[in-house]
Amino acid sequence: MKLFGTDGIRGKANEFPITPEVALRAGKAVAQVLRSSGHNRNRVVIGKDTRISGYMLETALTAGLVSMGMDVLLPGPLPTPAIAHLTKSMGAAAGIMLTASHNPYEDNGLKIFGPDGYKLSDALEEIIERHILGDEPEPRPMSPEKIGKAYRIDDARGRYIEFAKHTADNISLHGLKIVVDCGHGAAYFIAPLIFKELGAEVIKHGCEPDGININDKCGALYPETAGELVRQHGADLGISFDGDADRVIFTDATGTPVSGDRILALSALSLHEQGKLRGNRMACTVMSNLGLHEAMRRAGIEVLTTPVGDRNVIEALREKGGSFGGENSGHLIFADHATTGDGILSALQVLRVMKEKKATLAELAACMREFPQELVNLKVAAKPPLATLPGLQKLMNEADAAFGDAGRHLIRYSGTENKIRILVEHRDADSVDEWIGKFTEAVKEDIGVPA
């Protein structure tokens, strides 16, 4: 597809495809494809994070939708998972989130959810894309009396806050001191409030958005920021969200970031102990550490491995009837509660395990050992198919033969940026360094890296 990538449409604001003109056409396209004859179904929830370009896109998107007879519900800045939840709970035909997640403020994008709260299938995204690009006939204009309306939804925050607390059975967090870094993003208001209402002492950071400071040296990409505050305040842990709060990264009481795989492992093991891990299985992506697989084998838990992307994890869980999975980047899917990755909900689940087991995060995270691993992101001049790069392919075959069962490599292009991601994992740390160097040189020779 030309517009949709691994997680919706994304790009630089005010440049194609993130322009008011495309947003207008996207609104019309969503109306055409997801319109329903059901009672009250011709409504769309539009959420956004705190980027300044959100105002521009929200207005254009709303215009396109109402011009096609759809009513628009506008709750203002809220996390992506809150929009997914509200779409389903309010009986809307679709939900649209304006965000570029962890990207800097210059970028923005659209994530679209269906009436069930799940991200759209590739087939539906392709149909919507064809309408946006003009590959399908233009819709007939609505007569004036059929034009839709736009409404501000004042109780949206409260709806989601109560839902999130309920997923953790409103457990008391009394006695916990937590650093909450919202990255000046979509969770800036509701996340600290939720933890405070449940009894925790909260030290806030990244909760003063100004339209351009989202993800700026704070939030999930910079867990060391929360880590430093944890040390300063003697907190029990740090919780860092990305721009749209569908991801969460933790730091322990020493201020040390805890890997996403360790969070996946402790969560899966806790659910397993409670008999809540449906099918005795969990799902993760190909990016997860071999140590996670080892820990799950010891516990008798089946691991479903998927391509990168939380949508792929969700699809695997839905297909196999699983209840938990996620990505080591901080996406956690508690499928009994949510239809997408939810940073706040995930943090509450981890906090509940800490309280119930009377254990520190570091103690819980010691449930697995990690193989030494390194991930390098290189900017590239182009993205030719990897299979057409002879030097890189030869080196990958050599690595496969050398590694055996002791390690692995994974090389892929980013779905949202002009980058190639090189992952090497091995029982021996020196082998990791050696092969990262070899793969980096091969990429430079075969593709070229911009100065």
pLDDT tens-digit profile, the chain (451 residues) = 799 988 899 999 999 999 999 999 999 999 999 986 555 579 999 999 999 999 999 999 999 999 999 999 999 999 999 999 999 999 999 999 999 999 999 999 999 999 999 999 999 999 999 999 999 998 889 999 999 999 999 999 999 999 999 999 999 999 999 999 999 999 999 999 999 999 999 999 999 999 999 999 999 999 999 999 999 999 999 999 999 999 999 999 999 999 999 999 999 999 999 999 999 999 999 989 999 999 999 999 999 999 988 999 999 999 999 999 999 999 999 999 999 999 999 999 999 999 999 999 999 999 999 999 999 999 998 899 999 999 999 999 999 999 987 899 999 998 778 899 999 999 899 999 999 999 999 999 999 888 6
Cα dihedral 230, 234, 237, 239 sign: negative
CB 365 within 8 A of CB 257: no
In terms of Cα–Cα distance, which of 270, 421, 381, 389 is closest to 332?
270
Structure tokens at 318: 């839905």
CA–CA dist 150, 259 (Å, integer): 42
**Hey, how many other C-beta atoms are within 10 angstroms of the C-beta on 36?**
14
Which residues does 123 contact at the CB level (< 8 Å), separation at least 6? none
Please give the backbone phi and psi of residue 376, each rounded to the nearest 5 degrees, phi first.
Answer: -115, 130
101 among annotated binding-site residues: yes
Catalytic sites, residue numbers: 101
In terms of Cα–Cα distance, which of 263, 247, 219, 222 is closest to 354?
263
CB 284 within 8 A of CB 325: yes
Q: Could you tell me where the beta strands, DSSP code E, fall in 32-176? A: 43-48, 71-77, 94-98, 107-113, 150-152
Helix (H) / strand (E) containing 239? strand 237-241
CA–CA dist 258, 366 (Å, integer): 10
323 among annotated binding-site residues: no
CB 182 within 8 A of CB 225: no
CA–CA dist 164, 166 (Å, integer): 5
Dihedral Cα 36, 90, 63, 77, nearest 10 deg: -150
216 among annotated binding-site residues: no
CB 422 within 8 A of CB 399: no
**Hey, how many other C-beta atoms are within 10 angstroms of the C-beta on 10?**
23
246 among annotated binding-site residues: yes
Strands of the sheet with 302-306, listed across from one edge: 302-306, 281-285, 324-326, 332-334
Measure the CA angle with vertex 207, ends 101 and 200; round to 5°. 110
19: helix, strand or coil: coil
Q: What is the pTM (predicted TM-score) of this model?
A: 0.90
The size of the chain, in residues, is: 451
Strands 281-285, 248-251: pairing is: unpaired
